[in-house]
Chain A
Amino acid sequence: MIEMTDVNVRFGQREVLRGVTLSLPERRVGVIGANGSGKSTFARLVNGLALPSSGDVTVLGLDTRRHAARIRRRVGFLFSDPDAQIVMPTVAEDVAFSLRRKKLSREEVDGRVRGVLTRYGLAEHADHPAHHLSGGQKQLLALCSVLVLEPDILIMDEPTTLLDLRHSRQVADLLRSMPQQVVVVTHDLALLEDFDRVLVLDEGRIVADAEPEAAIDHYRKIMS
């Protein structure tokens, strides 16, 4: 459960988000809006990467200002550029890096890493350098490194931007099958078709908040 109360975010003089109040109990939430409308900041608010200038953000019952570290342990974040998010030189090592604080035995770590890589079709690349993967495979690797921690909430910032049709379909299927709550910031409107709720941001305000069809219609109108 994600709750925001009268949230404002300012970067210097610029107001990035204005007066956002909402609660998100739905399992599939999409966020759309023009470039610079505050979508990325909205996503970063949820795991405490960005903090509100005023107002409160509560995630899983915890205030992001005071408990950012605890929240991040339960909220996974997927960036649009996987290169920034892969920190270890090889595929399996990067997934194992996520587990380093879990105090698991080496067998346990190897088992979980192999499990998640097999599920997402990267098992044969386990020992390859991350930079030998294609863009789509890198995004899958970044996703594996997040999902191996079994987060309660998953935030994705434009996850399909760099993906071809097959890989973005794979991500869409994944979104459908995941038990977690998922918040997706995207320009890929087709991805949101069967979502429970879609928010439209415009110049830092929420201008529409509805079922996908109605929200996307509104977005098309303000963009034309």
Chain B
Amino acid sequence: MNGLTGAYVPGGSFLHRLPAGVKLLGLAVSCTALLLSPPVGLAGAVAVVALLYAVSGVGVAAAWAQIRPVRWFAVALFGVQFLLVDLPGAVSSTLRVVLAVALAGLVTLTTRTAAMMAFLERCLAPARFLGVDPFRLSLLLSLTLRSVPVVAGLATRVREAQRARGTERSLRAFAVPLVVSALRHADTLGEALSARGLDD
């Protein structure tokens, strides 16, 4: 959850100042390079990614928060590859995945949501000809990001209420109130968007 929404770490490094478009393009190019690179090149890639993180100044905790969600996946991947292929194969495919995730994480850590949205809005501009409003599309994405912590908060509240009433094993006692409160939230959110002048 935090990896998605709480990720931006304010800073003034050159990575922070790069335009969002350049970073996303760089991410696409370097992930392709990771896939194609020979195992020897991966050692260099580890050094480059580590250097980029050092330059960005986001700190060790933020860096680990990016990798953490895939740690068990990485372990499993390593195990399977080691059994089916060999040790060098297992090392290099695990490294590829972890490095790609680390690079993507670095982009989110150093880019404000607003900058990412503005870039998306520009990329989506041609969609205007299909009758799609790019502003609405990027608003949809922002609202999605914003809704993750809100719905997580609702779920926590429902779970607490369940625990207080001793019904924590019932799936229905969890799902029904959660859906109801999510729908209620959607209603108020719609009202709030109108009040903030969205539908004019």
Q: Which residues of A contact B (CB under 8 A)?
A: 44, 47, 49, 69-70, 72-73, 76-77, 79, 81, 83-90, 93, 96-98, 101, 127, 129-132, 145-146
Contacts and interface: CB of A to CB of B under 8 A. Distances in A.
Contact of A47 (B143, B153, B195, B199): B195
15 contacts: A73-B200, A76-B195, A77-B192, A79-B192, A83-B150, A87-B192, A87-B196, A88-B142, A89-B142, A90-B8, A90-B113, A98-B197, A127-B10, A129-B5, A131-B6
Contacts of B199: 69
Interface string B170-200: 0000000000000001001101111111011
B149 A129 contact: yes
A98 B153 contact: no
Contacts of B145: 89
Contacts of B5: 89, 129, 131
B104 to A, nearest CB: 17
Interface string B123-162: 0000000000000000100110110011001000000000
Contact of A73 (B6, B191, B197): B197
B192 A72 contact: no
Interface of B: 5-6, 8, 10, 112-114, 139, 142-143, 145-146, 149-150, 153, 185, 188-189, 191-197, 199-200
B3 to A, nearest CB: 12
Contacts of A132: 6
Given A90-B8, A129-B6, A131-B6, A77 B150 contact: no
Contacts of B191: 44, 49, 79, 84
Given A73-B200, A127-B10, A131-B153, A85 B192 contact: yes
Given A83-B185, A132-B6, A69 B197 contact: yes
